[in-house]
Amino acid sequence: MAYAILAFDGNDPSRRAAAMDRHRAVISRWAADGRMPFGTPLFTAEWVPSGSLMILDVPDMAGVDAYLAEEPFSVEGVWGERRILPFRIAPLPYQRLPKPGDPVATTRTHTVAIAYDGTDADAPARRQAAREAHIARMQPMAADGMLAIGGAIMDEAGSRMIGSITVTRHPTHEAAQAWMAEDPYVKGGVWQDITLHATRLAALPYRPLPGGA
């Protein structure tokens, strides 16, 4: 089981800059040993730092707690709010994520979408009905790098899909919205609460994602 940490900064932006070097040291170590398959900063549409999305590959919440105990953004009050989401990375033919030494963009290149399913009794059936078409659409997008990573948000028991996280190569909210409008999960009424965040990919010593190169 993986976990996604969706964290939002508090009211003092100077804390992020002050803790950045220590933050990078921690996430580099976690990426290198395979416990962090992916991590990225979050920005507003106006390119103001607003938080982080960190995905951990740990067996249980004890692993999440161990990370948060080391993470300067958590310990030093950079993050003012955070959500821990059980998460399942979709095994797709992802391209290699940026590694140390690769060029890193200084401006927006990607969009993070946090999409929650409906909460009505028919929501699981709608997801199941659209899932095959959705996965078929994601396969070539992962292969050509349009989809950097994606997967399902799970319920607390880890047994039912209740939403999705995607990180796509869209440089504007408008481009991401147009792409999502054509997805079977949107057309089929699966995703009903979608929030977008601007981002760029960090270069870390990642291991390959499930299904990826």
Local structure of residue 120 (DSSP, 8 states) = S
Domain that holds residue 135: 2-199
pLDDT (0 to 100) of residue 89: 97
Residue 24 lies in a domain: yes
Q: How far is residue 114's CA from residue 211's CA, in Å, rounded to a whole number?
A: 22
Residue 173 lies in a domain: yes
Report pTM: 0.96
Q: How far is residue 53's CA from residue 74's CA, in Å, rounded to a whole number?
A: 13
pLDDT (0 to 100) of residue 157: 87
Residue 56 lies in a domain: yes
Residue 157 lies in a domain: yes
The CATH number that applies at residue 142 is 3.30.70.1060
Number of domains in the chain: 1
Residue 27 lies in a domain: yes
Q: What is the pLDDT of residues 65-109, one digit of tens each?
A: 999 999 999 999 999 999 999 999 999 999 999 999 999 999 999
Residue 7 lies in a domain: yes
Residue 206 lies in a domain: no
Residue 59 lies in a domain: yes
